[in-house]
Structure 1
Amino acid sequence: MSFAEYSEEIREGDVAIVYLSHESLMAVTVRHGAQTQTRYGAIRHSDDLIGKRYGAKVTCSKGGWVYVLHPTPELWTMALPHRTQILYATDIATITLMLELKPGSVVCESGTGSGSLSHAILRTIAPTGHLYTVEFHQQRAQKAQEEFKEHRVDHLVTVGNRDVCKDGFGVTGVADAIFLDIPSPWDAVPHAKTALKCSGGRVGSFSPCVEQVQRTCEALSRHGFHELNTLEVVLRVHEVRTVSLPLPDFGPDVLSPEVPLPPAFHHAAATLKTTTPPREMPAHTGSSVFGYKEDDHLQTTEGLCGSS
């Protein structure tokens, strides 16, 4: 089992996702002799999990059942232990698109936090890319390193414990993309430029407040980044319902006697499906800022690669 590769069978040491309902998931490390308690009863790892196929339906000790799923970054985001506030799939998908991530990309990230975005990046850049992720908090950095090893993606990531605003990412001229999820991303912009490769590169940040967005955009512009975009991703779920609409009565002479009436005209009303958008949307999470660093040989006012 790896978060970057798929395997068919559940084996000891795997991290499996126990699916109880759409809003209730559990991440379980599979061990011989271990048990996991759920609302439907206990799951015995040796009997119920090891050797079974991912996606199997497992019956618990009280007679209820659950599905056991192969871990993915999306499922991990829903099941992970929160050490910080995290990014969810809607924003992560936009970030992956705007940073133009692909297999083989080299990415720098700060801060690591609970690792929600990190796992999505690792799945995208595997098998030949690399993630340099920096976390200011020592215990969070250590825990993230342990999770990457347990999830068997540690060969794709280097975890650093430092203040990126003061000490940078620890690399120079190698990154295809930078992402900043820190309180003051504008302070890290010079270090982001240093870490980016000479031939262009993209930078992004996520901030909950528009004042943070403004200062970040000013810093990006000041350090030679172009094509700045600020996006807020809002998920709007429409309600699907069945409605009955009355049909107009145009009288007996609406059509000539030779032309038969359509079936709908034989009824007083028509039944159809419609959708209604929500009337209220308390949906703000934050805004993402993206910018592009042009090739250094096209810049007339800059010096060596990574200069600020």
Structure 2
Amino acid sequence: MSFVEYKDIIQNGDTAIVFLGHDSMFAIKVQQGGATQTKYGAIKHSTDLIGKRYGSRITCSKGGWVYILHPTPELWTVTLPHRTQILYSTDISMIIMMLELKPGSIVCESGTGSGSLSHAIIRTIAPTGQLYTVEFHKQRADKAKEEFHEHKVDHLVTVKTQDVCKEGFGVTNIADAVFLDIPSPWEAVKYAKSALKIEGGRICSFSPCIEQVQRTCLAMTEQGFNDISTFEILLRVHDVRTVSLQLPDFGTGDKNSLDKPADTVSQSKGKCCTDSQQGTIQFKSGAPVKEMAGHTGYLTFATKYLS
């Protein structure tokens, strides 16, 4: 099982996603003789999972059912064990696009954290690219190495434990892109510049505070970066529901417009539909949910031109 190569059959040792619904899913490691408890009952790995196809509907011991999905970076992002705060797909998609990543790209990242962005980068640069990721915290770095090995992507990533603000990335003039997610990114900008290839490259820094952005932009300018721009990506979710309203009583007015049968009214109302027996009209209504994130973080991008 690999996060960058897909297969059909669930095997012993795989990481799989138990899907109970869009708001309820979790990752498991499939093990011979193992079992997983869900709100619908137990799933026995040996009989219920191993040998079955990914995407299968599995009946649990209490009679309920779940789907077993092949892992992807997107599914891993919403099910991974949190060791730090993570980036989600909304920001990740912007980062990968703006850094112009593609198969074969060489990328430097700091810090590794929980590996959410790392998995998305690896999937994008496979099969010939390489990710150099730096994590200051040794336990987090060791856990990330373990997960990359379990997910069969360790040949595409090099994990280093060091302070990028003092020691850099350990590579020089080879990276197509650099990503920074650290408390003081302005201290690492000069090392990012030295890691980028001589003929140019792209850099991105993620920061939650505008003061961090200001200092980082100043450092990028001092190091000769160009096209500096900052974005904040906010996801706005709309709630779509069916609304039923009573049909008004128009009395006995114009026979040509007011006494039309229900099916004619439905046609004249476009996407609305009527129920002549109930005396109601139904239509779809969409409105933003009452609660949404008011702030996520700032993404600052810049370009290194020819040195």
Give the counterpart letter for 2:68 in structure 1.
V
Q: How many residues align?
A: 289
Q: Which amino acid aligns with 1:292?
A: T
- Take 2:75 and 2:255, find their aligned partners in 1: how far apart are those partners? 61
Determine whether 1:204 maps to 2:204.
yes
Give the deviation of 1:248 after TM superposition.
11
* 1:111-132 deviation digits (Å, cap 9, x = unpaired): 0000000000000000000000
User: What's 2:111 paired with?
Assistant: 111
Q: Give matches, 1:106-255, under 5 Å.
A: 106-242=106-242
Which residue of structure 2 aligns with residue 264 of structure 1? 268
Helix, strand or coil at the partner of 2:215: helix
Is 1:277 aligned to 2:288, yes or no? yes
Contact 1:247 1:269 (8 Å CA) reproduced? no
Q: Secondary structure at the match of 2:300?
A: strand
Identity %: 64
What does residue 299 of structure 1 align with?
Answer: none
Mind listing any 5+ residue stretches in structure 1 that lack a counterpart?
256-260, 297-308
Distance change (3 Å), C-alpha of 1:116 and 1:78: same
State the match for 1:306 in structure 2.
none
State the AA in 1 paired with 2:92: I
Q: Distance in 1 between matches of 2:290 and 2:32?
A: 51
TM-score (norm 1): 0.87
- Alignment partner of 2:31: what SS? coil
Among 284, 291, 297, the residue aligned to 1:286: 297
Residues 11 and 50 in structure 2, CA contact (< 8 A), matched pair in contact too? yes
Q: Call closer, same or farther: CA 1:252–1:73 in 2, change over 3 Å.
A: same
Superposition pairs for residues 71-86 of structure 1, below 5 Å? Answer: 71-86=71-86
Q: Is the 8 A contact 1:264 1:270 kept in 2?
A: no
CA distance in 1, matches of 2:173, 2:95: 21
The answer (yes or no) to whether the contact 1:247–1:270 under 8 Å persists in 2 is: no
Stretch deviating more after TM superposition (15-24 or 274-283): 274-283
Contact preservation (8 Å) 1:206, 1:288: yes
Deviations 1:130-183 (A, max 9, x none): 000000000100000000000000000000000000000000000000000000
Distance 1:164 1:62 in 2: 51
Q: Is the 8 A contact 1:108 1:131 kept in 2?
A: yes
Q: Name 2:19's counterpart in structure 1.
A: 19
Please give the alpha-carbon distance, in whole angstroms, between the structure 2 residues aligned to 1:186 and 1:254: 73
Give the CA deviation at 1:292. 0.6
- What's the counterpart of residue 44 of structure 2? 44
What's the Cα RMSD here? 2.4
Deviates most, 240-249 or 113-122: 240-249
Q: Quick one: structure 1 residues 247 and 72, their matched pair in 2 at CA, closer, same or farther if it must change by over 3 Å? A: farther
**For 2:178 and 2:223, how far apart are their aligned partners in 1?**
14
**Which runs of 5 or more residues in structure 2 are unaligned?**
258-263
1:280 Cα deviation after fit: 5.5
Aligned residue type for 2:5: E
Paired with 1:242 and 1:17, the residues of 2 have a C-alpha distance of 32
Q: Tell me, in whole angstroms, the C-alpha distance in 2 between the residues paired with 1:10 and 1:91.
A: 31
| Letter matched to residue 287 of structure 1 | Y
TM-score, scaled relative to structure 2: 0.87
